[in-house]
Chain A
Amino acid sequence: MNAYGLLWGLLLALLSTAAQAQNDTPPQSGIWIPNPGADLWKAVRQRGQPEPSTTQVQGLDSNQLINVAGEKFRDWRRERFIRYAAYLLAGVPVVILLFHMLHGAMKLEPSGRKLLRFDLYDRVAHWLLATVFLFLAFTGLLLLFGRFVIVPWLGLDAFSPIASASKEGHNLFGPLFLVALLWVFLRFVARNLPAWRDIVWLLKGGGAFGGKHPSAGFFNGGEKLWFWSLAVFGLLLSLSGLLLDFPSYAPSRELLVLALVVHGAAAVILVAFSFGHIYMGTAGVEGTLEGMRDGTVDANWARQHHDQWYAEMVREGRLEALSEAQENRAETTTGQLEEGRT
């Protein structure tokens, strides 16, 4: 065994010297300098670029030697934004799903009596904004996560045309979002002015914790929070998007990077919020979708979720006239509801 070990050792030693001889690069003098330009660029970066600096080449920031925003942008995009956006956009649906499994949908006992909630203009404005929003969110998320989700699955060659179409579509239809947003804002702002009861509503979590529904007007605190978030972040989203749509008119790269940061953050916040909005409008609360679909809601739905608005509507006699049979049915069901509540 010892002899074998010795033989192996010799062989290994021989092989390693042979490998070393092969790897021998031509003799170098002095110390190793990976890139001779490194010192110079380091000096430019550390001392800041001396002014004035000029160049014959026309272009955005073409007289700048070092782009100071570049590394920040890379760090923000790769280390923070993509990661935290993924956590948020995956986390919110999970939370909603858990809530739905624990809490279940808020049931509605239809009374058969209808109340007009959203007229045609309200609905067209809402669905225009919703369509544009969903399209932009979908294309935007494709561009954000595609490299990490679609590329490993379909490959680079398949993702490129998808991404290209997303980019062109996103850029072309982006300005429509601002138009739809302004329309929705103008139509809904009067009904979304904050009131004291909205804060109470929010503190009580919309009745999710207290059991009883907190008082609400035409829109409740949650809806108003969504409306104003949409207004503020939507405006930031539109303005930054318009700048990014016409990059050739931007004064500097730093502003474009800032616009990208604002655009991304606002977009992800709104998309996460929209998950909640879509849930509450469809599976979360029975009878809500009707309002945006047909324009009318059930009277009992209004009593349940918007008691003050309901009271107002009753005072003004806006409840649609019903046949006697319907009237009876409505009374019994509302009666049952009240019993259930107390």
Chain B
Amino acid sequence: MARLKFYCDAERCIECNGCITACKNENDVPWGVNRRRVVTIKDGEQGERSLSVACMHCSDAPCAAVCPVDCFYTTEDGLVLHDKDICIGCGYCFYACPFGAPQFPQDGAFASRGKMDKCTFCAGGPEENGSSAEYKKYGRNRLAEGKLPLCAEMCATKALLAGDANVLADIYRERVIYRASSSLRRGVDLQKQNLGGNPGAGS
């Protein structure tokens, strides 16, 4: 089977937050929950980069390891999904997750946590594919319809990619090769410009 992954290309992401909007709209995400977020580093400085982050569907998922009720399961496609009927909203997965993916709607007494919500790779949950129960709890099951997650489909710059890890790797490799050759050329140009000028500007 394929191994489904996300990849966000920091060289392409322009922090438009379109992926978040697409996700919220498609999955009817509960209020206060963000299954995906865009983090910008060095905002406004040289070397600014943005990354769109959601559940990375780890092969050895820390969330599943610390869960006291064992509500996580890994699909044949390598997606880490969870069962909201089992989840008790303790928040341990959020403490263990390297990417901050698990989210909790406020629910119940004293603003305590409701059941965990996170990116499903638009693959729903354990309910019957495409059922209204599944939609209510997990959002759209696009994968069952043969479609990829909407965040990646909507990405205007194709920075965010979703799909088979092998295919993504090929695209990534191709991009790296093109970038290397173009930056090499640019580097040579800059070096020519900067001969005798400011040596630090070209780096």
Contacts and interface: CB of A to CB of B under 8 A. Distances in A.
A28 B40 contact: no
Interface in A160-203: 160, 163-164, 167-168, 171-172
Interface string B98-140: 1110010010111111000000000000000000000000000
A280 B170 CA distance: 69
B155 interface: no
A129 to B, nearest CB: 22
Interface stretch (B67-75, B185-193, B195-203): B67-75
A299 to B, nearest CB: 50
Interface in B45-70: 47, 51, 53, 56, 62, 65-70
Contact of A57 (B38, B86, B113, B168): B38
Contacts of A319: none
A37 B109 contact: no
Nearest to A45: B98
A210 interface: no
A147 interface: yes
A156 B69 contact: yes
Interface string A37-79: 1001000000001101111110111111111011101100110
B86 A55 contact: no
B22 interface: no
Contacts of A77: 65-66, 92, 96
Interface stretch (A102-110, A232-240, A244-252, A283-291): A244-252
A247 to B, nearest CB: 6
Contact of B65 (A50, A78, A171, A246): A78
A137 B110 CA distance: 22
A246 B110 contact: yes
Interface in A258-315: 260
B132 to A, nearest CB: 21
A256 interface: yes
A168 to B, nearest CB: 7
A66 B98 contact: yes
B165 A34 contact: yes
Given A36-B7, A57-B34, A147-B69, A50 B94 contact: no
A168 B109 CA distance: 9
5 contacts: A36-B7, A53-B41, A62-B34, A74-B65, A144-B68
Enumerate the 4 nearest inter-chain pairs by beta-carbon distance, A residue then B residue, closest first. A36-B172, A57-B37, A33-B169, A164-B88
Given A29-B170, A36-B5, 16 more contacts: A28-B170, A29-B173, A40-B51, A50-B47, A52-B41, A53-B40, A55-B37, A62-B39, A70-B62, A73-B66, A77-B96, A147-B68, A156-B69, A157-B85, A171-B112, A256-B91
